[in-house]
Amino acid sequence: MGRVIAIANQKGGVGKTTTAINLAAALAEKNKQVLLIDIDPQGNATSGVGVEKEKLEFTIYDLILGETPIQSCIEFTEFENLSLIPSNVDLAAAEIELIGIQEKEYIIKKEVDKIKDKYDFILIDCPPSLNLLTINAMTTADTVLVPIQCEYYALEGLSQLIHTINLVRERLNPYLDIEGIVFTMFDARTNLSLQVVENVRANIKQRVYSTIIPRNVRLAEAPSHGYPITIYDTKSAGAESYRALAEEVMNREEG
């Protein structure tokens, strides 16, 4: 049975999509069957694994509207063991079109349950907001992984996100858990990055991953070329960090 992890933070620019793409690729590199689901209307996870948003026959939008089965939405990427359910700007209209639909919080879950057994990991890249799409991801997921940027306002919004996760657990998905918090865009040259890490570790009662993702030029460049960092620059600090994070995620499952 595949493990479903939603990667969420309502704050934009925290490395959420970067984490979704590169964690998926690092798990696939370790011979895990991985499905990446892009539910962000910006579609950055889609283009970040080399799939052209403009040439898609079916996307997550068609799935949500019930116009196509989930199997028709799955795209094979050029990377071994990594498949994708893509997204594009059409998805921005989904929330309005779902007004009045019964059990609209469970639309993605019902579809993902049909194919869950085929994958070791299913990663969902959420939009940078706490909307119906994110709620769908949380009803589908076993856990939520939260990327946090190493900056002054890191804790701002985190308590709101944890509150939302707790609400979803109470009302919609009693099995939902917090996978953990992962620090991104860490700059070892600044005291601020170190202070943020210490502050979060001291104040948050959630699991915090040991792996810290550095601020890395190659990591920032990779998506524009349609490659995960493990392929784009396999020996870079960013690639090694996501491999280490993948090991931690896998070990949590085994532990």
Residue 255 pLDDT: 46
Note down the domain range covering 17. 3-254
Residue 246 pLDDT: 97
User: Where would I find the beta strands (DSSP E) of 95-214?
Assistant: 121-125, 143-149, 177-186, 208-214
Domain count, the chain: 1
Kind plus residue range of the DSSP H or E element containing 3: strand 3-7
Residue 77 pLDDT: 95
Lookup: tokens for 29? 């590199």
Can you say how many angstroms the Cα of residue 224 is from the centroid of all Cα atoms in its chain?
18
Report the predicted TM-score, pTM, of the whole model to 2 decimal places: 0.95
6, 124 Cβ separation under 8 angstroms: yes
Task: Supply angle C-alpha 247, 250, 255, rounded to 5.
Answer: 115
Residue 156 pLDDT: 74
Extract the residue ranges of the chain whose pLDDT is less than 70: 1, 253-255
Bridge partner list, 81? none
Closest CA to 42 of 68, 13, 71: 13
R_g of the chain, CA atoms, integer Å? 17
Can you say how many angstroms the Cα of residue 205 is from the centroid of all Cα atoms in its chain?
21
> Per-residue pLDDT tens for 157-191?
788 888 889 999 999 999 999 999 998 988 877 77
Residue 7 pLDDT: 97
CATH of the domain at 245: 3.40.50.300
Say how many CA atoms lie within 13 Å of 139 toward its Cβ: 19
